[in-house]
Amino acid sequence: MFNLALGSRKADCIGGEEGPPAGSWHSCHESSGLSLTFSSPSAYKWASSPSGSLHFSSRGRLVWSQLEIPRSASSTALEFLVFPYHRSQFDSLNHRGFVIQANIPSGNSGEGFAMVTSVAASGDAGTLGSGVAKFSGKVVESKLTESSPVASLPADIPLDALKVVCPSVKETSSSEDDEAYDGPVKTTNGVKLANGDSDTLVLGKNFHDLCLTITEPDFDDEVTGEKDAYMAGVLARYRKTLVERTKFHLGYPYNLDFDYGALSQLQHFSINNLGDPFIESNYGVHSRQFEVGVLDWFARLWDIEKNEYWGYITNCGTEGNLHGILVGREVFPDGILYASKDSHYSIFKAARMYRMEVVKVDTLLSGEIDCKDLKQKLLERADKPAILNVNIGTTVKGAVDDLDLVLETLSETGFKEDRFYIHCDGALFGLMMPFVKKAPKVTFKKPIGSVSVSGHKFIGCPMPCGVQITRMEHISVLSNNVEYLASRDATIMGSRNGHAPIFLWYTLNRKGYRGFQKEVQRCLRNAHYLKDCLSAAGFGVMLNELSSTVVFERPQEESFVLKWQLACQGKISHAVVMPNVTVEKIDKFVKELIDSRQRCFPDGKVVVPCIVDEVGPENCACEEHRGIQPNGTSNGLSH
């Protein structure tokens, strides 16, 4: 039996602990011995159980938390999702409080279970609302009272199939932090992140309370082998989780289609490429010969001669951006950093780290930098050199900044080549663009200073890494002799993963230019297929011309977002079509997205959200903009 309880009475299954505080809900599964207490917006806690205890605390009034409670009998987990809702959605209840909804995924128990519960606006512990439960097509009404604040699910429902969603609203207060709001506010660990506008942030679970604790082996462990058996079980369950989560992955740009079995023979070595990749150090267990081979390959891709470039394989894409911006700052110490507001957050992190003045430039609807706004802001600061970040694929919309237009804008505003430095952030599309027909070229034949890409994205390296290439003439401002290494160093980090260059070298050799070209074309083709499927199903959707990132309206079910690991921002979400994303996976995703939307509108009257500000009228499917053509005219569809 799985119980959802609302009230303040002592819960029998907690075993000696205090019951839930006033205005809280409590859940307990008797067979697993696990229990959870979630209280009103002002406080909440975990309750301990005979099989162990968990602790989670909050400083704030409103909490976002995704909590997984592992069961010893199964590698699956019961997930609790907590998020706020807007009062107007539940005006008929005349209450402000909690709404609890439990969904059983399709394939387990048909239509699933849903329950709605509310707490009176007064917040009194004894004032409870009513609930409605739906299971397997049957409707069950449940009255919750102070003496009987428990609604039960049938015992035959599998625990590992149950997901509980508990939204809450914020109480009105006269203080600045508690002022009335006009939309959802989502926070984690009590820290407010947004005020209900389209930039509302949603954070995940706090793993500090869910970590795998490290314990000392028992004195007789060498004989019994219990610790080894325990760790083997943990790893086996973790592998099962990885396999399952990899099946449902669309929101982040990782190529999961790879096989590096041939490289397993090298995992017994601590390979470290510390220092300059072109100068050997005293540490002999390195892979510099592989690293320089990879760098030469990218130098050819971006049209720069061997004796004119310097670069290295970074630990991630962010490090490439940090290095590129750092070179620009060292070349122009008083330079101002210009970056579009759609640039990756690491660009603005670099500005904070280096104490640089940064100017955010507006973007077009596509996400591309607005060169008219760039021109105005350059003219306002024409007395100082310009350090520019140019996006070769923005994070959310996959937009590619027009490098030629940026260069033209610099020329028009009086910035000659000796007064600007351009870093190109090509995390994903920096490797795809060279293989797209008629795409503008990213090349060092143009006056750019550096280019960086991620190695774990399109290439498909299993560990985070990246490639950073800059001009040799610029690197002297960073390079220093290191006697301890008997080498030079101009990198951001000290020790560098020596395995990553081998993985990159292996893939580049196996696929070559022709192999990557085929994969790029397939990704773009499948991205258009996904866009067409979503559009045909009545979703607002946008796809930039040179991109495989499909932007669409944000799913209303957070459980769906979590399942498919979608990246969301405000009213929109996106799916990044990578080489491992097949037509079959796209079909499954679209079908489940349609089913998810139908669950949100059980009466069949679907209300499509307006995302015109994010994707434009021709890509918005709401009632007002449905059927609008790019030229602003209607195609005859009903509005």
Closest alpha carbon to 71 in 225, 237, 207, 236 = 237
Q: How far is CA 264 from CA 267, 425, 458, in A?
A: 5, 32, 21
User: How buried is residue 179: exposed, middle or buried, by Cβ count under 10 Å (0-12/13-18/19+)?
Assistant: exposed
In eight-state DSSP terms, residue 196 is S
Instruction: Report the SS3 class of residue 524.
Output: helix
Other beta carbons less than 10 A from residue 326's beta carbon: 21
d(CA 394, CA 360) in angstroms, rounded, equals 14
Q: What is the DSSP string of 2-52?
A: EEEEEESSPPGGG-SS--PPTTEEEEEETTTTEEEEE--TT--B---BTTB
Burial annotation 357-389 (CB, 10 A radius, 16+ → b, else e): ebbbbebbbbbbbbbebbbebbeeeeeebbbbb
Q: Is 547 a catalytic residue?
A: yes
The active-site residue out of 24, 281, 547, 596 is 547
d(CA 71, CA 524) in angstroms, rounded, equals 42
Q: How far is CA 262 from CA 73, 217, 579, in A?
A: 35, 34, 21
Residue type, 237: R
CB of 36 closer than 8 Å to CB of 20: no
Instruction: Report the SS3 class of residue 184.
Output: coil
Per-residue tokens: 377: 């802001």
Q: How far is CA 587 from CA 254, 534, 545, 561, 576, in A?
A: 19, 10, 22, 16, 15
Backbone φ and ψ for 337, nearest 5 degrees, come out as -85, 125
Residues with catalytic annotation?
547
